[in-house]
Amino acid sequence: MNLLIKSATIVDPNSSFNQQVADILIKNGTITEIAKDIKADVTVFDATGKYVSPGFLDLNCNIGELGLESKENLQTGTAAAAAGGFTGIALMPNTQPPVHSKAEVEYLLNRAKGNLVDVYPLGTLSHKREGKDLAEMYDMYLSGAKAFTDGNRPVQDAGLMERALLYTKGFEATVFSYPEDTAIAGKAKVNEGEMSTLLGMKGIPSLAEELMIARDLYPAEYTNSKIHFSTISTARSVELIKEAKKKGLKVTCDVAAHHLVLTDDVLAGFDSLYKVKPPLRTHKDVKALITGLKDGTIDAIVSQHTPHEIEFKDVEFEVAEFGIISFQTTFALALKAGLSVDLIVQKLAVNPRAILDLEQATIKADQKANLVVFDTTTAWKYTKENNKSKSYNSPYIGETLKGQVLLSCNNNHLFKSNLS
């Protein structure tokens, strides 16, 4: 792949060209030159007024392989990821079978070879995600698993969490915790508050999330191990993690993009497309999450891409599955939340790689071209036709969004948007 990107504003804190307008020449998938005015007999992409940054990396997404390919497979999932600017994705092990041994890790890595999007399988923390016995974490780590989590099943056994943290410390891996106390959350479907009362539905109190964060911070401190909290959603959660960071704990966290722009007010119409977990919270929580991103408490933004067949979403709210597809809307939602370009790049590209202990994708000469070109002003309509996912469970299909990914480049492959 040979390409000349003209007059792009480079946003990369690890590059000496950060905040400069320059041309970027890519030959055979490698950045060969960055300068003010490059002449070359290759395809030219005019990026005047646009931005280029390292490719985004998603720390929380679901793709159906293994076993749930009717929801999404690696081909459609990585196509949607590339269209959203993601050149790397960390796959949750919420599959059938779950990714709980080196066989599943190696299968996914082999299936993903040669793709524009780098795939990083996350191994399960417990065998079969049952929350009883530790999985074969070291074997999975040697095969390429980058972190360990039971995905959307919170670990209820504090002893198991403590043993997992202690065990992974031996090879410096990170444990991802989905914070929810199921004894408190129960089978509720929405946030506990005014809206749940109005809807006549039992709610999930913020305490269910906050109590689990408080609990997991203790064994993380006791073992001096790395812990990452996935998709926090409440104001108090932000406070707890901020306090832990001040104490010097090895703690990081992320937030799903939709939790930055949506509140439980949108549930007034019982639209199951807005049914997510953790549930949409309140305006106070949204404000605290955005503040947490800006002050550095929250390290990353994730898509939490969760595809479902129509029969699991186009049903009554109570029985619908949790989750929305979101690879192609994450960047636009981050802009909608009022975040600056610099901050978005930090939370979508730089910090996620640091959390997984990956080499940074850097925009400089003699480096592999792992980058995304985007603008912040162009409006585009998200439709079933330009949706790259196999599933359609997004409340934003049919909506006009501002902020568009124009190019994604990685592994000598190029995605170019055809959005009008």
Query: Are residues 381 and 321 part of one domain?
Result: no
Q: Which of 7, 3, 62, 12 is nearest to 350 (CA)?
A: 12
Total count of domains within the chain: 2
Residue 28: which CATH number?
2.30.40.10
Strands 227-229 and 174-177: parallel
Indicate the DSSP class of residue 82: H
Q: Which of 355, 376, 400 is the last residue of a domain?
A: 355
Residue 139, exposed/middle/buried by CB under 10 A (0-12, 13-18, 19+)?
Answer: middle
Query: Are residues 198 and 82 part of one domain?
Result: yes
Query: Are residues 60 and 184 part of one domain?
Result: yes
Query: Are residues 136 and 46 part of one domain?
Result: no
Q: What pLDDT score was predicted for residue 311?
A: 95
Q: What pLDDT score was predicted for residue 411?
A: 96
Query: Are residues 198 and 76 part of one domain?
Result: yes
Query: Are residues 170 and 195 part of one domain?
Result: yes
**Beta strand ranges found along 141-250 (DSSP E):** 147-148, 174-177, 190-191, 203-204, 227-229
Residues of the chain with pLDDT under 50: none
Residue 280: which CATH number?
3.20.20.140
Query: Are residues 79 and 222 part of one domain?
Result: yes
Query: Are residues 319 and 270 part of one domain?
Result: yes
**297 and 304 in contact (C-beta within 8 Å)?**
no
Number of H helices, E strands in the chain: 13, 19
Average pLDDT, the chain: 96
Q: What pLDDT score was predicted for residue 65?
A: 87
Q: Which of 355, 374, 402 is the last residue of a domain?
A: 355
Query: Are residues 345 and 202 part of one domain?
Result: yes
Task: Give the structural domain span for 180.
Answer: 55-355
State the Cα–Cα distance between residues 41 and 247, nearest whole angstrom: 55
Query: Are residues 190 and 59 part of one domain?
Result: yes
Q: Which of 336, 355, 374 is the last residue of a domain?
A: 355
Query: Are residues 264 and 157 part of one domain?
Result: yes
State the Cα–Cα distance between residues 93 and 122, nearest whole angstrom: 6
Q: What pLDDT score was predicted for residue 1?
A: 85
What the block records as the tokens of 383 is: 């439709």
Query: Are residues 405 and 305 part of one domain?
Result: no
Q: Sign of torsion, CA 153 154 155 161?
A: positive
